[in-house]
Amino acid sequence: MTNIEAVIFDWAGTVVDFGSLAPTSIFVQAFKAQYHFDLSLDEARQPMGLGKWDHIRALGNLPSVDQRWQQQFGHSMTDQEVDALYEAFMPLQKAKVADHAGLIPGASEIIQHLTQQGIKIGSCSGYPREVMDILIAAAAELGYQPDHVVATDDYPQGGRPHATMALANALALGVTSVGRCVKVDDAVPGIAEGLTAGMWTVALTDTGNEMGLTEEAYQQTPEAELAKRRQTITEKFQAAGAHYCVKSIADLPPVLAKINKRIDRGERP
């Protein structure tokens, strides 16, 4: 018997797209295509987890970006310019998202393990619905079909760190309590989403946006360097309130066992 009724996963960097590469590279391309503006990958990653319009707005507010934007255009980024960047971003993202639908190692086995235990699989993303529909189809061909999917624009106030997407999953999956749900994510806004929804939260340090490495680069990086970066990432997630931090989705079972025991003792997130 399990006390956990549902696990709600993020997509890129959590279950698919090792390193969360699809959205970051497209932001860089969109800025270059629309405004001939050079955005770095490190800058593109900083607001990851937000809805994509909000992500672009947050990029414009970064001090380094704002300074260069003012130098190039004579003013800070306007909402109209955010709209234009979003319009440039969308077709690029739709064209490329399926290329990054590959499952992160261990994901398929963990999903199967949870399903066999009767745990429902929810999911949500910072991607809008028109991008998610492409990613859902591509992931299904590779064997990943969660019980429910919520996109960032499915509901008003749906974007992270609001709890809307996590709570919409809980309602659709028919759970008896949000305290029996676990939110798994690779970005701080996604952890905030789970906490705001009253769920247990597990942050992934190695496979997503914070580490930001392709699977090949990750495998080639010395463990000492990974450990150093992992410690910094863990401290960031702990400061954000994550209940647990693990390297990847493959490392979930021991943490879920701990959460089960805590629920048994009457603890709540």
**209 Cα distance to chain centroid:** 8
Q: Out of 10, 17, 185, 206, which one is annotated catalytic? A: 10
Q: Which residue has the tokens 């549902």?
A: 6
Can you tell me the distance from the alpha carbon of 123 to that of 107, in angstroms, rounded to the nearest whole number?
A: 13
DSSP string, 92-131: HHHHHGGGG-PBPTTHHHHHHHHHHTT-EEEEB-SS-HHH
* Distance (Å, whole) CA 133 – CA 123: 13
Residue 10 catalytic?
A: yes
Q: Apex CA 182: angle with CA 126 and CA 203, to 5°?
A: 60
Backbone angles phi, psi at 235, to 5 degrees: -65, -35
d(CA 123, CA 228): 30
Q: What is the DSSP string of 123-189?
A: EB-SS-HHHHHHHHHHHHHTT---S--B-TTSSTT-STTSSHHHHHHHHHHT-S-GGGEEEEESSHH
Contacts of 36 by beta carbon, 8 Å cutoff, 6+ apart: none
What is the CB-side half-sphere exposure of residue 7 using CA atoms within 13 A?
28
In the set 17, 52, 120, 153, the catalytic residue is: 52
- Measured in whole angstroms, how far is the alpha carbon of residue 207 from the centre of its chain? 11
Residues in the chain, overall count: 269
Active site residue 261: no
- Residues taking part in catalysis: 10, 52
